[in-house]
Amino acid sequence: MIRPPPCRLPAGIARGLAILVCLLACTPLAAQPPTYDINIRNHLFEPAELTIPANTKVRLAVHNLDPTPEEFESWELNREKVILGGQTATLFVGPLPPGEYPFFGEFNPKTAQGRLVVR
């Protein structure tokens, strides 16, 4: 009986899949980092200054208590996150070296100002 030749992955697909697998494999599972809460109320961040430990990844739970959306934005932290009114968003920052990292509310930049102090 003549058997058909085996199915072989075309070289292009094999390369593509290898890249995808390598990329996925390079993402390790992370332990749950400590959580810090920030509220947005009346277009203000509460607290406006938050201290977190140096060289530690932390989870920021940003609760928007206003009915309107707000955007947590910080060039220094490389984060932009829109939080709908009445919703909570999760941001992960760090590990960061000691210093001060300002952030602001994109939709209310004159009032919504804050900073992370890393010690």
Partner 1 sequence: MNARHDSLCRRRVIGACTAAIGLMVSASAWADGAQVDTVYHPYVQPLERDIELRLVSEQNSRTRGDGQTWRLGYGQSFSARGFAELYLVADRPAGEDLHVRAYELETRWQLTEQGQYAADWGLMGEFEHARDRDAQEFAVTLLGERQWGSFVGTVNASLGYEWGDDVHSEVETGLALQGAYRYSPRLQPALEFHAGEDLRALGPAVLGTERLGIGRKLHWEAGLAFGLDAASPDVSVRGKLEYEF
Per-residue CA distances from 99 to 51, 52, 55, 64, 78 (Å)? 10, 10, 11, 26, 15
Least distance in Å: CB of 80 to partner 1? 7
Provide, rounded to whole angstroms, the least separation between the CB of residue 46 and partner 1: 21
Give me the residues that bind partner 1 (CB under 8 A), please. Answer: 4-5, 7-10, 12-13, 15-17, 19-20, 23-24, 26-30, 57, 69, 71, 75, 78-82, 84, 90-94, 106-109
For partner 1, give the closer residue by CB, 28 or 119. 28
Among residues 51 and 90, whose Cβ is nearest to partner 1?
A: 90
Distance of closest approach, residue 12 Cβ to partner 1, in angstroms: 4
Closest contact distance (angstroms) between CB of 75 and partner 1 is 5
In the complex with partner 1, the residue whose CB is nearer, 49 or 92, is: 92
| Three-state DSSP class for residue 25 | helix
Percent helix, strand, coil in the chain, to 5, is 15, 40, 45
Which residues 6+ apart lie within 8 Å of 90 measured at CB?
59, 60, 61, 62
Q: Which amino acid is at 4?
A: P
**DSSP state string for 5-24:** PPP---HHHHHHHHHHHHHH
Shorter beta-carbon distance to partner 1: residue 5 or 119: 5
